[in-house]
Amino acid sequence: MKEIEIIISLAGTVLGLIITVLTFIVKTVRSSKAKKSAEQAIKIGNAVLPLIREAEKFTAFSGIEKKQYVMTKANQFALVNRIPFIEDLVSKKIEELVTLTKQVNIRSSSREKAEIKKEIQEAVNQKSWL
């Protein structure tokens, strides 16, 4: 009777140990896949920034054409680097980056306008031009 209890006790311990090891392995594999996906997303994101700058120099093209250019170049980058290209995600990222750059440009123009206005006000206050 004691031998059966010892065997059952050992079997329960071994089963718990096996479950713990399997759980650890599954979580490690999932986290490595997530890490790899995140690294690939960062690579594509870093590749998209210069492409957006390059596309903004094209004055004769519409925004849609510029975006298509960036998407095509990003897809080529992904193919060369063997990174899965998810068009919707890259498109959203491009939209976010373009929106962000527009906001930065508006802020810098407003700052420049404020500086110019201040210079004009100082020049007007000097009254040396009268």
The total of other beta-carbon atoms located within 10 Å of residue 41's CB is: 16
Please give the model's pTM, rounded to 2 decimal places: 0.60
Q: What is the mean pLDDT of each run of 10 residues along the chain (130 residues)?
A: 86 91 92 86 84 87 89 92 87 83 67 64 48
Contact criterion met (CB below 8 Å) for 61 and 67: no
Write down the pLDDT at residue 46: 82
Write down the pLDDT at residue 18: 94
Q: Is 107 exposed, middle or buried (0-12, 13-18, 19+ CB in 10 A)?
A: exposed
3-state SS of the chain? CHHHHHHHHHHHHHHHHHHHHHHHHHHHHHHHHHHHHHHHHHHHHHHHHHHHHHHHCCCCCCHHHHHHHHHHHHHHHHHHCCCCCCHHHHHHHHHHHHHHHHHHHHHHHHHHHHHHHHHHHHHHHHCCCC
Q: From CA 71, how far away is CA 48, in angstroms rounded? A: 8
Q: Where are the domains of the chain?
A: 2-126
Write down the pLDDT at residue 96: 82
